[in-house]
């Protein structure tokens, strides 16, 4: 399972935090996680060792979403990292998005996105 087309959003995160610290971005605008995202973090997220860069009290949680035409009804669902290898063997191509979430102050930011999949036709559609 080798990620392709990796996009790291670290620079955007640093810019958002700099705007927050300078006062150009209100905390309410930076810490605006949707209730569904907070619930996904609570019940399906994967804890990290990183502290929230805003409140510095809570540890961040990663929530991983998958999207792709081949996924059908599974597109847009939260998946555990351990499920991605099986998905990559089953589907030709899908995109993975990882969002960091603070369940304390509602900070959230997209951290990385990448493409997985075996690169061919979906397993169920081969002739």
Q: What pLDDT is recorded for position 122?
A: 60
Distance CA 49, CA 25 (A): 26
Select from 102, 101, 122 the least CA-distant residue to 110: 101
Distance CA 81, CA 61 (A): 13
Tell me the sheet residues that pair with 108: 101
Binned average pLDDT, 10 residues per bin, the chain of 127 residues: 90 96 93 96 97 96 96 93 94 96 97 93 56
Distance CA 31, CA 26 (A): 9
Q: What pLDDT is recorded for position 96?
A: 98
Helix (H) or strand (E) holding 29: helix 27-30
Q: What pLDDT is recorded for position 4?
A: 87
99 is written with which tokens? 């969002």
Q: What pLDDT is recorded for position 124?
A: 57
Tell me the sheet residues that pair with 115: 4, 95
Local structure of residue 22 (DSSP, 8 states):
H
């Amino acid at each position: 399972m080798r990620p392709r087309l990796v996009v790291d959003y670290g620079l955007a995160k640093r810019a958002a935090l700099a705007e927050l610290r300078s006062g150009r971005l209100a905390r309410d605008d930076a810490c605006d996680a949707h209730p569904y995202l907070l619930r996904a973090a609570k019940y399906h997220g994967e804890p990290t060792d990183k502290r929230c860069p805003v409140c510095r009290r809570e540890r961040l949680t990663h929530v991983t979403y998958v999207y792709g035409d081949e996924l059908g009804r599974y597109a847009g669902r939260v998946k555990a990292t351990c499920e991605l290898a099986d998905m990559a063997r089953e589907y030709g191509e899908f995109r993975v998005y990882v969002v960091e979430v603070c369940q304390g102050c509602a900070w959230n930011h997209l951290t990385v996105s990448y493409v997985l999949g075996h690169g061919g036709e979906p397993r169920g559609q081969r002739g």
